[in-house]
Structure 1
Amino acid sequence: MTATVMAEFAKAASSDLFPEDVSSRFTPQLKLAAASLCADVYDTAAWMVIMRHYNSVPGINDEARSVFEAFLNVFPTAADYWKFYLDKEMEAKNYQMVETIFARCLPICLDVELYRTYIHYQQIIKRNQPDERAALCNAFEFTLEHVGVDFNASQIWMDYINFLVSSEAANAIEENEKLLVIRKVYQRAIAVPLSQIETIWKNYDTWEHKHFRDHAAATLNLAHPIYLRCLNVKRELKKKREGLLLDMLAKPTPSGLHAQIRDYRQVLLWQRLLHYELGNPLRLDPSVFKARMTYHFKQGLCILRFYPEVWNAYASFLNEKGTHDEAVRVYDNAIEVMPDNLIVHFLYADFQERKRNFSEARTIYQNLYEKADQASSPLCAIELLRFTRRADGVEAARKILVSLIKSPNCTYHVYCAAALMEYHVDNDATVASNIFKLGLKKFPTCVPFLCEYLDFLYARNDHQNMRLIFEQCFREIPSAEAAPILDRYVDFERMVSDFIAVEAAESRRNALLHPERAVTRHTPSSMVAPVRAVIDRRHFKDLYPCSDAYQNAISLGPSILTNKRAALAAGVAGGSAPTGVQVEAAPSSTLPSPDIGQMCKVLDNGRPIVTLRLEIGDALRSLLLRLPSYSGPEIAQVDLLMSWIMMAEPKVIHIRPAGTTGDAVQHAGVKRERDAPAEQPVANGSGSAGPRPAPVTDLYRIRMAGKVAKTQQ
């Protein structure tokens, strides 16, 4: 690696993400990862390179702390890395730093293992202290208060019970109090659908019979229905939680399609889980149910904090089961996490407008517009304009429009939205026309704006102004950019003009856009162009005067003669390519191409494909037509199946022919017995005819048996 490149990496690594004194000591590999983070701070692959390095280094120093802090500033809900950070500080016995880290991470990371680390820390610092038992009880209760309803919290409950059981009592009274406390903890644990609830119930049953033998059955009978209900919910939760990635780093939607599908799959899985929990399958009291759902929403946000779906669902739940202020705090937290996410702001504004809190909603729209960047400013302006019209009326909206169009970030979208709102909502075509005229002065060559203006004029039947706009476009806009306007020009002439004017418009468009479609003599296209013109002219919406296959063929034009690959590709798209022909993608961007990302890989087993043309009789053909279609699993070993069928001993069932009597059938059986060889009897023990066994020297059956033996080896 050259010195220049290394210098660039060092400069990139010394950005605001890492302190300069830390980044200057990075190895080349770490500098490369840090340079990747300058382009995308949520590049998890680059972060893993850095974090694996510092996590593998024994001990901790200021350099490692700076890296951990930089990582946790980007991923504040990464519980595993908070735990790594804490483990290193605990190994170094920096207990004051440990306390600070716990105060930062425990309120925002609802992770079972992180809270177990907190209990372990309390055991270390309170060991052999006078208040050890009380401190550990408080630590366990604190942990259960925050993560006790977690599906994976079984070990915490069992650790708490084991701690209470192992604690010594000074006298009989304290021993009795200890037993009552243990019973309450057991009964609290079996009221939660934990992953190991069966083990906890079994331990509770044993404990009750050991310490309260006379009353154990009655006590357990009272608790058993609660246990059964939680057991059923636990089994359902196990299914609903399949696929959840609880250790996934929270980051915005990635750019790659595979990563997008992977991450949004988590949104759908959490939606499934939360939908089930919202049904209150445990039949909890309202306050307990609210606490349980709050935990699930917060845990989901630890992973999906950049997805507005979870924030909105959480706020909606609190608005229904809690208070308005709680829902507002959730939306405020969402905006703090995603200040540039328009969807969160719009959801919050809709929430306030639904409550008829127009002042709060107006503040949201105004703050969003003032902080919006150049790309999102037009949409924010349009939504502010629409809200003002809904909340304050037409005049207030027009005043807002005057200030919006003065902004340097104002695009043609704002003019079009305002004009169409005046025309469709307020039924004022004059004001709408004036707004479009103002926009025309600012965007005289903007094709999308001109298309919107032409559509507006077409809806008003203002043909004169439409022709003026068309002529202005032909003069000022290059033909390569004016395709949508030229198409509207032809459609307009087809609708309002005579046949001669329509042909003139088509010729004008084709001369500018499609010279190959121009009808001229002594050219190869002179025969095709009139037909193409009729197809373009004589259709309405999705009604065409020819088939789709014919449209596909005629659209190729001269490319069929010059580019065979494009012709074959189009033939496949139209469904007319011969079977078995492999077609390469056409180089032209205008031709359709398959979505290769959705294709499945063909597994070739190396067997040659042989096509046989078999002649079957009428009887067999009739039988095949009567058989139902096969919809079962694919048969991989056809030869093995055929060999089993060949070696099977068929059971012969004799059906009495029509028109025969029982005596005739009996005589036929006697004749078969008489004609049969002596060493091959044809009658079974009951005297009825049976199948004739195969000869020992049947070579075909011997070969089939050998194939079966080889297959089974």
Structure 2
Amino acid sequence: MNNSASVELFKLYLHHIKFTRRCDVQTVHRAYEFALDCIGHDKDAGEVWLDYINFIDGPIPLRDWRKSGSRSITAKEAVVRINDMRRLYRRALQIPLVLLDTIWDAYCEFENTVSTQTADMMITSMQNEHEPSYTIARQQLRFLDVVGFLQQLSSVQPAALELPTRPRPSSSFQDENSDSLCHGWLCYLNWEEGNPLLFDLKTMEGEKEFVRRMKGVYKKAVLKLRFYEVIWCRWFVWYNELKGDKQSDKHNPLTILQTAIEANPTSLLLNFVLAEQYEIQQNHEEVHRVYTALIAVLQKELDGIERHLSQPSANKTEDASSTSFSHEDMSNQEGPSETLRGIFQKRIEELGSVWCEYMTFARRSRDQVASREIFAQARKSKHLDWRVFDYAAMTEYHLSKAANIATKIYDLGLKRYPTDAGFICQYLHFLVIINDESNARLLFEKVIANPTLTPEKARHIWDKWCSFECNFGDLAASQRMQKRMLEIYTAESPAEWLSMRHTHRIDAISAKDKGSFPTEPLSSRLPAAGPSHYSANPNPPHTPIAPIIPAPSPESRLASSFTRALRHVELDEDALASRDRHPSGDSLAPAKKCSHRTFKAGEQSFPRRKQIPRIPIE
């Protein structure tokens, strides 16, 4: 019950305590207080508040007791009851409940029943606009109604029970309703964190009420969006930043992550955050357990997809349940990047990201030898991404300054990925930066001689080596390279080949000399902003200028912290984005995040996403 955010469940609980078990008055009091601590903040909890008020009023209400002159209770008991009811009314009237006006009418009647002389003073004190009061709660209730949150955040009714929906595996097949709901909840969480009810956070009581309300809001958020990692991550970040005295229930923040991983066992972000928290606590055994469990889950999923791919099309539907997504999701995909094989490749990259993080932890907790042991385990995996070899090699080069060891690792990778253009480009790039031109030239000639590496697949390799020859070789070498490429790639115009020889980090020709490449729009030839220094293609195909990105949100900062070691192998977007999705298809990578405004009390406008300005292209 402590972790439940269901108002209906607590109604059944209170009914059981009062009428089924027929508990004593003190037990019922404790049951009501427990229920209100858990769900009293909920907009649908008005019936629970009214029921509690009527229970305190007793079998003989105060108005009937005064009219009849009954002596069943003493004057002292009546005063205690009046004070209890007044405190309870004040607590309820500070919350934007759906039944707020009903409770207000009952409160006004109560004060007039107690004393007509003090009623006006008591009622006026509850209409203060500068502290938690009925007026503030009513304003915020109207605001929620105007922006549509009242309908969107409604409790799940037993007559129409609906379970949280799991996001689809590809961003092209999002459930628009679920993503819209997630975006609405993120805006609502920002609004609640802005303290719209004006709790006095300088006092212990006000701060306690604010923390209790935020905990209840987050519980209901994960109840509705159980399979969205961004909500769980946000809850953990908020609760973990609270000081010990504010965590009144002494709830371990790590249990939030553990519960989140139970719902999302293949989430990279949640597992990485949990592993890092254990590492901070020097609990290395638990870190190993987190990584091994995550690797096992991903391996199992990859095996299921592989079996599905190897089966005839007639039997694929029956085996679809073995994977984490339905056959409908796979059969509806369009385009080569959205096929099942494309999803399979993305899952391999995710597994590679986990191995790289595991190697990083082993090196930090022990030494480089431990990282090598994890790399040896990774090499035994049937599904291994080439970026793991690249990461291991670059780690050896940067930490131990051993270029020979890094070269041996690349050679091992070349045996496993002899036709992977991305890995070959990365190997060439490494040999270039260590000034090993002779081995780089031998590698280039060796791989292009492989008959299985078609000119289409090898285009990036040719572009990579041509760029090196044009930038750092003599004129004769660049001309010879251009002649060789013209013999293979005959569709390009002469102007494009000439431009390639004079392009360095900036492609000024395509931007300055308009009309040089009429078959290709200018916007597609502008260089990407801030390319990764160790990307698989340091001179990638030209892409539009990146948009101006606002400040990242807390969950995006967490995601970026786990891509620091993988930045040069570009695992951040592919690995984290495909699973730990942000609403509307955005990944959690900082370059694709969109922050949300925190709306404070009194702002009567709908929380909207900031529009990302784009640089105009002349």
Deviation at 1:572, TM superposition (A): 11
Change (3 A) 1:530 1:465: same
Q: Which residue of 2 is the match for residue 251 of structure 1?
A: 165
Instruction: Confirm whether residue 182 of structure 1 aligns to residue 85 of structure 2.
Output: yes
Deviation at 1:380, TM superposition (A): 1.4
Q: 2:199 aligns with which of 259, 269, 282?
A: 282
Percent identity reads 26
Q: 1:487 aligns with which of 437, 441, 463?
A: 463
Deviation at 1:272, TM superposition (A): 3.1
Structure 1 unpaired stretches of 5+: 1-105, 518-528, 556-569, 575-589, 599-713
Instruction: Confirm whether residue 273 of structure 1 aligns to residue 188 of structure 2.
Output: yes
Deviation at 1:302, TM superposition (A): 0.6
Could you say what secondary structure the match of 1:326 adopts?
coil
Opposite residue 511 of structure 1, the aligned amino acid is: E
Deviation at 1:464, TM superposition (A): 0.7
Question: Where do 1:157-196 residues align within 5 Å?
Answer: 157-162=49-54, 167-168=59-60, 171-174=70-73, 177=77, 179-180=81-82, 181-196=84-99
- Tell me how far apart the structure 2 counterparts of residues 326 and 338 of structure 1 sit (CA, whole Å): 19
Select the structure of larger CA radius of gyration: 1
Opposite residue 456 of structure 1, the aligned amino acid is: F
Opposite residue 360 of structure 1, the aligned amino acid is: E
Q: Deviations over 1:516-574 (max 9, x none)?
A: 44xxxxxxxxxxx443322222223221166464134155xxxxxxxxxxxxxx69999
Question: Where do 1:594-605 residues align within 5 Å?
Answer: none
Q: 2:508 aligns with which of 538, 543, 554?
A: 543
Q: Which residue of 2 is the match for residue 365 of structure 1?
A: 291
Q: Which residue of 2 is the match for residue 423 of structure 1?
A: 397
Could you say what secondary structure the match of 1:302 adopts?
helix
Deviation at 1:416, TM superposition (A): 0.7
Q: Which residue of 1 is the match for residue 39 of structure 2?
A: 147
Q: 2:5 aligns with which of 90, 95, 110?
A: 110
- Give TM-score scaled by structure 1 length: 0.55
Change (3 A) 1:205 1:503: same
Could you say what secondary structure the match of 2:518 adopts?
helix
Deviation at 1:234, TM superposition (A): 4.6
Deviation at 1:240, TM superposition (A): 5.5
Deviation at 1:221, TM superposition (A): 6.0
- Tell me how far apart the structure 2 counterparts of residues 308 and 319 of structure 1 sit (CA, whole Å): 16
Would you say the 8 A contact 2:131–2:199 is kept in 1?
Answer: no
Deviation at 1:414, TM superposition (A): 1.2
Q: Deviations over 1:138-180 (max 9, x none)?
A: 7655543432221232233234435655833795243754643
Question: Where do 1:217-616 residues align within 5 Å?
Answer: 217=120, 219-220=122-123, 225=128, 229-230=132-133, 231-236=135-140, 238-239=142-143, 242-244=147-149, 245-246=152-153, 247=156, 249-254=163-168, 255=170, 257=172, 259-280=174-195, 281-283=198-200, 284-321=205-242, 322=244, 326-373=252-299, 374=302, 375=348, 376-476=350-450, 477-512=453-488, 514-517=489-492, 529-540=493-504, 541-544=506-509, 547=512, 549-553=514-518, 555=520
Change (3 A) 1:294 1:205: same
Would you say the 8 A contact 1:193–1:234 is kept in 2?
Answer: yes
Change (3 A) 1:359 1:153: same
- Tell me how far apart the structure 2 counterparts of residues 297 and 261 of structure 1 sit (CA, whole Å): 22
Deviation at 1:427, TM superposition (A): 3.0
Would you say the 8 A contact 1:190–1:201 is kept in 2?
Answer: yes
Q: Deviations over 1:274-296 (max 9, x none)?
A: 33433443124444333222111
Would you say the 8 A contact 1:108–1:302 is kept in 2?
Answer: no
- Tell me how far apart the structure 1 counterparts of residues 376 and 174 of structure 2 sit (CA, whole Å): 43
- Give TM-score scaled by structure 2 length: 0.63
- CA RMSD in angstroms comes to 3.8
Q: Deviations over 1:650-699 (max 9, x none)?
A: xxxxxxxxxxxxxxxxxxxxxxxxxxxxxxxxxxxxxxxxxxxxxxxxxx
Could you say what secondary structure the match of 1:553 adopts?
coil
Would you say the 8 A contact 1:422–1:428 is kept in 2?
Answer: yes
Opposite residue 266 of structure 1, the aligned amino acid is: L
Would you say the 8 A contact 1:331–1:344 is kept in 2?
Answer: yes
- Tell me how far apart the structure 2 counterparts of residues 444 and 572 of structure 1 sit (CA, whole Å): 34
Opposite residue 236 of structure 1, the aligned amino acid is: Q
Q: Which residue of 1 is the match for residue 536 of structure 2?
A: none
Would you say the 8 A contact 1:378–1:411 is kept in 2?
Answer: yes
Q: Which residue of 2 is the match for residue 641 of structure 1?
A: none
- Tell me how far apart the structure 2 counterparts of residues 188 and 130 of structure 1 sit (CA, whole Å): 27
Q: Which residue of 2 is the match for residue 694 of structure 1?
A: none
- Tell me how far apart the structure 2 counterparts of residues 252 and 311 of structure 1 sit (CA, whole Å): 14
Change (3 A) 1:262 1:421: farther
- Tell me how far apart the structure 1 counterparts of residues 523 and 190 of structure 2 sit (CA, whole Å): 44
Change (3 A) 1:243 1:388: farther
Could you say what secondary structure the match of 2:199 adopts?
coil
Deviation at 1:431, TM superposition (A): 1.8
Q: Deviations over 1:312-366 (max 9, x none)?
A: 2222333333468610111111111111212210121233334554443343223
Could you say what secondary structure the match of 2:292 adopts?
helix
Opposite residue 435 of structure 1, the aligned amino acid is: I
> Which gives a bigger RCO, structure 1 or 2 (Cα 8 Å, sep 6+)?
2
Deviation at 1:435, TM superposition (A): 1.1
Could you say what secondary structure the match of 2:516 adopts?
helix
